[in-house]
Amino acid sequence: MLALVVGALPSVSADAATPRSGTVSDTAPTTTWSAGPFAVPNVSGTTGTVSCGSPQLCDDYTLKVSVPVGYDAGHSLRIDVKWPDTAADFDLYVLDPEGHEVAAAASASDPESVLLPAVAASYTVRVVPYAPLGDSFTGTASLVANPVDPPPSTAVPPTYANSSAPDGIAHAHDAGEPSIGVDRATGAALFQAYTSTLKVTYDSAGVATWQDKSASAANGCPQGSTTSLDPILFTDQATHRTFESQLAGKTALTCYTEDDGETWTPTGGSGINSGVDHQSIGGGPFVPGGPGPVTSYPNAVYYCSQDIADASCAVSRDGGLTYGPAVPMYSLLDCGGLHGHVKVAPDGTVYVPNKGCGGNQAVAVSEDNGLTWSVRKNPSSTPGDSDPSVGIGAGGTVYMGYQNSDGTARIAVSHDKGRTWLYDQNVGASLGIKNIVFPAVTAGDDNRAAFAFLGTTTGGNYQDANNFTGVWHLYVATTYDGGQSWVTVDATPTDPVQKGSICTGGTTCGKDRNLLDFNDITLDARGRVLAAYADGCTGACATGGAQNYDALASIARQTSGNTLYGAYDAMVAGQRKKPTGGQ
């Protein structure tokens, strides 16, 4: 389902909430209400702004929050809407007294949940019966204690240098939702956005050179650079093969390169009955003991996408040339359709993260080379608006970074393939970060990982194009102790990535969707972090002018500090050990 955008809406109620209003306070922290049954769906939000009218299209509940000043330092306001039939779907919006949206949960999750700062305020809690199926709902508003985060890491903070594609590259300023891989044999980074594949190399001083190596008929890939519905790139670090793919309905136009884009080889692209949206490609070893490769290419390649009612993955056993049938990972009864990027662990376990699975964020996991899947939730999480991301350490430790429903940057760790999660914490709190988008996680040694995201210290509804005034930067949080603590740095301290709102509501957005849907992150052969992003604030905007809604291809590359491979920790003092491969 598409995310919905709500502004100042007329207050036309459906079957009225019972009771119609309520209060939560520090002495009476919970209130509940119910409404329904609802027979008529309200799908108006799929084309833009939700509209409310007769018969029975919205339900409003007046909520007052009465708490002392400073109460929000340790508490949040949580609002949940639940319904009996998991096949039904209700959406939740919270409006201020002027009718401006301050929070929303418009996924396919049951329950829908939002978190807000626990401050004295009055709200309208609006529930929209997107697909009610004759069901009723129950709403609960509660003041809840915030989890206590551990102290930040005392590790020396890494530093980053940023480079961007020159204007001479055709689509340098059309680089929303980039993906990135590094060929560890040559040290070259390959950056994918729109129909462009850009090769980036670094000299001994860290100076970047950008070149256009896009797939085309001239270099062996006739289907390359012809269309772009969700472009994606993946580099297999073990085999040095890089895939570039453009979504085209229920298939994908995909080619691979083994020489950093000089030549490309066409492939079948995807599996039979693959989905129409949100494609992802990843790969890694096969699980021992099961069906393995059918050619000399040793690793599995996975193509995953969503198809409205479910999301599926297909596996290739011949290096990505052809794929088997797409196998469903889950249905809308389990999770929302959209998902993050597929990652494969060293033991062959496959992970696909999802931002909304029955009130939590989760990973879909396959331990049999994509034949069957299990959904494993992080119970400490609440659904967000950006896709979560996983990074997998050398020993199989899984790090899941996500945007919580209150907008904050959280990450958790699993040592048992997502069955349980540890150390869940807000890694932006130490810098006062209140809203994030586009989580991206990578890992190296089993106890080392990095979590990149766009963040702002401004709270409130970051999708409010008329009223949100936050300034966004690229941040990177790093752990060197297995996720017990994190050190977070601003990787673009003198150059904002965006000013004002960032829309994550899909095709219903306006010009503030210039960055599109995600960023990406990877490592080079020495464990340096490279974070790919689109810079939305360039030229005069970057020096104090107005937001210009650019999308300039950019990479933040680690230049100092311990990397994610302990063997190269000497680089913290500016020394260089002889590499095992790459720059």
Closest by alpha carbon to 100, among 65, 127, 124, 64?
Answer: 124
- Better pLDDT: 396 or 569: 396
Closest by alpha carbon to 303, among 311, 293, 294?
Answer: 311
Distance CA 107, CA 336 (A): 6
Task: State the sign of the Cα–Cα–Cα–Cα dihedral 409, 414, 419, 420.
Answer: negative
Closest by alpha carbon to 235, among 299, 283, 176?
Answer: 283
pLDDT in tens, 410-445: 999 999 999 999 999 999 999 999 999 999 999 999
Token pair of 297 as six digits: 């290419």
Strands of 67-131, DSSP E:
75-82, 89-95, 101-105, 112-117, 121-131
Of 38-52, 56-70, 306-320, where does mean pLDDT reach its minimum? 38-52
Distance CA 119, CA 426 (A): 20
The number of beta carbons lying within 10 Å of the beta carbon of residue 308 is 11
Residue 73 phi, psi dihedral angles, 5° rounding: -60, -30
Q: How many Cα neighbours within 13 Å face the side chain of 257?
A: 28
15 pLDDT band (50/70/90 cuts)? Answer: low
386 pLDDT band (50/70/90 cuts)? Answer: very high
Beta strand pairing call for 360-366 and 374-378: antiparallel
With beta carbons less than 8 A apart as the criterion, state whether 47 and 508 touch. Answer: yes
pLDDT in tens, 273-306: 887 888 999 999 999 988 999 999 999 999 999 8
56 pLDDT band (50/70/90 cuts)? Answer: low
Residue 556: per-residue pLDDT: 98
pLDDT in tens, 299-325: 999 999 988 778 999 999 999 999 999
Closest by alpha carbon to 1, among 59, 50, 36?
Answer: 50
Q: What is the pTM of this model?
A: 0.89
Residue 571: per-residue pLDDT: 60
Distance CA 230, CA 491 (A): 26
Strands of 118-228, DSSP E:
121-131, 137-145, 159-164, 179-182, 189-193, 196-202, 208-212
Please say if the pLDDT value at position 212 is more than 80: yes
Please say if the pLDDT value at position 216 is more than 60: yes
Residue 48: per-residue pLDDT: 64
Report CA-CA distances (Å) from 296 to 25, 91, 293, 300: 66, 50, 7, 11
Distance CA 212, CA 90 (A): 46
Distance CA 371, CA 364 (A): 12
Beta strand pairing call for 21-25 and 59-66: parallel
Token pair of 2 as six digits: 């598409």
Residue 579: per-residue pLDDT: 39
Closest by alpha carbon to 176, among 516, 549, 536?
Answer: 516
Share above pLDDT 90 across residues of the chain, in percent, rounded to a whole number: 74
The CA-based dihedral angle spanning residues 321, 374, 480, 379, taken in that order and rounded to the nearest 10 degrees: 150
Distance CA 583, CA 568 (A): 13
Residue 47: per-residue pLDDT: 64
Distance CA 140, CA 126 (A): 13
Share above pLDDT 70 across residues of the chain, in percent, rounded to a whole number: 94
Residue type, 571: M
Closest by alpha carbon to 534, among 232, 183, 252, 175?
Answer: 175
Beta strand pairing call for 471-479 and 498-499: antiparallel
The number of beta carbons lying within 10 Å of the beta carbon of residue 569 is 15
With beta carbons less than 8 A apart as the criterion, state whether 81 and 448 touch. Answer: no
